[in-house]
Amino acid sequence: MNLNFFILLIGFTIVSIAGCQIAKAFQKIKFPLITGLIVTGIIAGSSVLKFIPHESLPKLRFLNDIALSIIAFSAGSELYLKELRSRLKSIKWMTFGQLVITFFLSTSVIYFTASYIPFMSNLAPDVKIAIAMLFGTIFVARSPSSAIAVINEMRANGPFTKTAMGVTVVKDVLVIILFAVCFAVTKAIIHKEPLGLLFLVFLFIELTFSFALGVLLGRIIQTSLSLKLNKQIKSVIILLLGYSMYLFASVIKIYSHQYLLHEITLEPLLICIIGSFVVTNYSKNRVEFTGLLEGISPTIYIIFFTLTGAALSFHTLIGVFWVAIALFGLRIITLIIGGVFGVIASKDNKKFTFIAWMPYVTQAGVALGLTTLIAKEFPSWGYEFETIIIAIIVINQLVGPPLFKLSINMVDESHLKSKPVEFDGVKDAIIFGLENQSIALAMALKQQGWVPRIFCKTEDFTESNENFDIIPLQSFSLSEFKNLSVEKADVVVCLLSDSENYKISEIMYEHFGIKDIIVRYNGSRVFLNKFNALGVRIVDPSLAMVNLLDHFVRSPNATSILLGLDSTQDSVDVEIRNGDIHGLTLRNLRFPSDVIVLSVVRKGQIIISHGFTRLRLGDIVTLVGSKESVNNVRFKLES
């Protein structure tokens, strides 16, 4: 038995690894990652190849429980109260609209149209109500991880984005509480238990006990993270703590039925999400906890979604496809109504009214996790329910992210990098700030064939310079820059305060797409991460001299060349613009013997070059050699 279990576990591991690779192929054709994993599970499961027989799935149920605990931890870690305070009113009303209206409308419509849903058509009316409530609960669930991915990709920021993110994480906490109530009601109806005062007392006890355990779990996680252990051990502790909640809930369920003649059902998902919330908001370990979850989650999601796919029947999935389409449409309608209500009730910006629903379409881990619990508890109809929900989730995964991106663009809260203009043959440099260093830099660039310009504040302007332009500005604003052909700049150097440097860098990034932005960092920690997010090159004066001396000690010749102290040698970055060079290897280019290629940068990634490295249009090549030879090679690569 143990040997068979290990063989099954090894087989599932192989299937999961294959699923990861197949999912990457799906991503290349613009399909969500979870679609590839679910499809892999279906193919490997009992529907097609039978690598994972249906009867073996209960043996792998512990993997599902571990995955669900991590999904709950991740959802709770997103509910960071300090980041939500500025939009609390909008979040409150939008959450009410998206949760209450979506739940009651979808529950009502599904109950009255149950005869059109195959597995519900012949059920008793009270069972139909219970299943409709479970549908309504799942419809409310959202995907925080998908929302974060879109926000990060779009560099979105603003009231609409903050509200969307706040509502997303708050809803996923509330939906688990709602699920616990509806799940308990459904079990009572299915098992013919009376829904009287005693039922309400037990339900209150279950929820209170789950909340208390969640707080205790949060404190235990906090204590564990405070120990001086390495990252891997802490990750294992989090996994074990999450799984222990499922084991504990199972033990309580068995013994309460034995001694109290009533099953006390604790909700492990709720316990884990409360525990994560406590760590995130009431401990000093928030950053470390979030980092550990980010490291664990990718593997957990691969296991979870592959296992979910293996439990599906392909034929059932095809049979309920049109039902899933209809229910997807119903969910969209309820989200639209809830969005309109939320905007009106919170007196938010009117331009949000008819797009407020767009951020809440995507579903993933939490919705699927709740669905698997339903399928496990009610096998007579739960697997048909699960199949329909999974089909809806796949559709939501396809259309949700594009809709969220569209809404962000419609409210002008996207901060993506602008497309740069084509190189005009002149190497332009703009330097912000008038001081000795900026003048010295402009002079050095002038000697190397660049065309430098210095932009300064009007009050800092003293006198002009015959070698280059010094331009006084009333303000460092977009309107000022548009009148000065800033878009032609190849490099921007900022030598002002950190706040002014960031403002300029952001404008250059978003509106002009300047490729290279260099900033002198003045030590404000607030702006360090912001500069890094823009891909700005940071020069820290407090470390520059130490680093320079360090390089001189370890490699004096290379440092002398890079600093231009060796007048016979030069170093330069060159962008490949010559179409004839595209696809050729370095060994076939016949560069002069006194020129070497230090590195090749392609799409932001550094490639350590060798003779067989093939160049591509747009590559940035770093050359070192004699000035004459470097200029000859540069001409060859750029022309």
3-class DSSP state for residue 362? Answer: coil
What does the DSSP 8-state code read for residue 264? -
Rg over CA atoms, the chain: 30
* CATH code of the domain made up of 2-410: 1.20.1530.20
Residue 638 clears pLDDT 80, i.e. is over it: no
Residue 415 clears pLDDT 60, i.e. is over it: yes
Q: Distance between CA 443 and CA 12 in Å, rounded?
A: 65
Among 334, 425, 306, 380, smallest CA distance to 51 is for 306
Average pLDDT over residues 544-555: 72
Residue 279 clears pLDDT 80, i.e. is over it: yes
Q: What is the pLDDT of residue 532?
A: 82
Per the CB < 8 A criterion, the answer to whether 528 and 536 are in contact is: no
Q: What is the pLDDT of residue 135?
A: 92
In the chain, the percentage of residues whose pLDDT exceeds 70 is: 94
CATH of 567-638, one of 3.30.70.1450, 3.30.1180.20, 2.40.50.140, 3.30.70.1710: 3.30.70.1450
- Residue 59 dihedral angles phi and psi, to the nearest 5°: -70, -25
Residue 132 clears pLDDT 90, i.e. is over it: yes
Architecture of domain 428-539: 3-Layer(aba) Sandwich (3.40)
Find tokens 């979040």 and name the residue. 91
Task: Give CATH 3.40.50.720 domain extents, the chain.
Answer: 428-539
Task: Give CATH 3.30.70.1450 domain extents, the chain.
Answer: 567-638
Higher pLDDT, 524 or 213: 213
13: left (phi over 0), alpha (psi -120 to 50) or beta: alpha
Q: Distance between CA 438 and CA 425 in Å, rounded?
A: 24
pLDDT digits (tens, 9 = 90+) for 48-100: 777 777 777 777 778 888 888 888 888 778 777 776 666 778 888 888 888 88
pLDDT digits (tens, 9 = 90+) for 606-625: 777 777 788 888 888 888 87
Average pLDDT over residues 559-572: 68
Task: Give CATH 1.20.1530.20 domain extents, the chain.
Answer: 2-410
Instruction: Please count the other Cβ atoms lying within 10 Å of the Cβ belonging to residue 337.
Output: 16
Average pLDDT over residues 551-565: 66
Residue 320 clears pLDDT 60, i.e. is over it: yes
Query: Whole-prediction pTM value?
Result: 0.70
Which band of pLDDT confidence, cut at 50, 70 and 90, is reported for residue 32?
low
Residue 558 clears pLDDT 70, i.e. is over it: no
Helix spans in 191-230 (H) = 197-226
Per the CB < 8 A criterion, the answer to whether 251 and 263 are in contact is: no
pLDDT digits (tens, 9 = 90+) for 321-368: 888 899 999 999 999 999 899 889 888 888 888 898 998 888 877 788
Least confident of 172-181, 273-282, 408-417, 510-519: 408-417
